[in-house]
Amino acid sequence: MPTIRTSCPSCRQQVDVAASRCAMLGGPHGDPVAYAFVCPQCGEPIFRRVDPQAATMLLAAGVSRSGGEGNPLRPTHPENPRSAPPLTGDDLIDFHLLLDRADWFSHLTSPTASGEPE
Ligand SMILES: [Zn+2]
């Protein structure tokens, strides 16, 4: 698989990224405007602008358009989806009422949070 040699603006290292680990991002008209990858050095998600000529070369090297299965920024979830009942209208109303409380955040982050307003 071809690699893309680029630089990371976060850690300022020159890095080699497999083309399969890059994703081409499109503009509002679908034309490629940037590519993205996760820096192998610092782990930061990086977005770099490209001109049309560079975009053509990256696509020819095997960079996939975003949204594809090979998109490195696409979460691999749900390999283990949580099982839970679907959200209902009552759940939404309960959540709305919970957000009116001053302690809504600590309530949601407490280990015993059930989602039920008290
Ligand atoms: Zn980096």
Query: Which of 9-18, 27-36, 54-63, 71-80 has the least mean pLDDT?
Result: 71-80
| Whole-number pLDDT of residue 74 | 55
Contacts of 35 by beta carbon, 8 Å cutoff, 6+ apart: 4, 22, 23, 24, 25, 47, 48, 50, 55, 58, 63
Q: What is the Å distance from ligand 1's center to 21 Cα?
A: 14
| Whole-number pLDDT of residue 87 | 85
Q: What is the Å distance from ligand 1's center to 77 Cα?
A: 24
Q: What is the Å distance from ligand 1's center to 56 Cα?
A: 24
Q: What is the Å distance from ligand 1's center to 101 Cα?
A: 41
111: left (phi over 0), alpha (psi -120 to 50) or beta: alpha
Give pLDDT tens digits for 19-50: 989 998 887 777 888 999 999 999 999 999 99
| Whole-number pLDDT of residue 8 | 94
| Whole-number pLDDT of residue 80 | 63
